């Protein structure tokens, strides 16, 4: 069920950027978990600015490609605690698995082929 249109998806993108920026402070992350969160915030910001949808500024990346990148990010977030060796019960593990669920749900609920996506 694809209930999120491009405009609403863009607002959620901004919220996700803010969560990645503030997450290390709110969840007590340091070292590589904090750095990864800030890098993901920067990547998501660039993706948001370059996407061809209502909140995009440069409108270079098709909204469908934006969706594929978000799917890859969701998978990466789900695998990250295992790849980086976060201990069971650690704040980093909880943060990244929660963000994997959030990004994955947004991906599942977004209509990446919506009419509004291609308007300049």
116 pLDDT band (50/70/90 cuts)?
A: low
The pLDDT assigned to 2 comes to 86
85 Ramachandran zone, left/alpha/beta (phi>0; psi -120 to 50): left
Q: What is the pLDDT of residues 7-21, one digit of tens each?
A: 999 999 999 999 999
At residue 115, the pLDDT reads 59
In this predicted model, what pLDDT tens digit does every residue of 37-56 receive, in sequence order? 999 999 999 999 999 999 99
Helix 31-50 to helix 91-109 angle (10° resolution) is: 20
Cα 33 from Cα 72, distance rounded (Å): 18
Structure confidence at residue 1 (pLDDT):
74
Listed by start position, the domains of the chain span 6-118
High-pLDDT (> 90) share of the chain, %: 90
Mean pLDDT, rounded, of the chain: 93
CB 33 within 8 A of CB 24: yes
Higher pLDDT among residues 118 and 28, named by residue: 28
> Torsion angle, CA of 84/39/34/88, rounded to 10 degrees?
-30
Kindly report, residue by residue over 64-112, the tens digit of the pLDDT. Answer: 999 999 999 999 999 999 999 999 999 999 999 999 999 999 999 999 9
């Amino acid at each position: 069920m694809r209930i999120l249109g491009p405009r609403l998806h863009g607002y959620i993108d901004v919220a996700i950027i803010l969560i990645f920026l503030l997450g290390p402070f709110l969840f007590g992350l340091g070292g590589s978990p904090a750095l990864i969160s800030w890098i993901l915030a920067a990547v998501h910001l660039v993706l948001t600015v370059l996407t061809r949808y209502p909140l995009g500024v440069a409108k270079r990346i098709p909204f469908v490609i934006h969706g594929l990148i978000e799917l890859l990010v969701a998978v990466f977030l789900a695998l990250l605690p295992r790849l980086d060796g976060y201990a069971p019960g650690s704040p980093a593990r909880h943060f990244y698995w929660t963000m994997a669920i959030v990004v994955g749900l947004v991906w599942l609920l977004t209509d990446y082929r919506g009419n509004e996506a291609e308007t300049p």
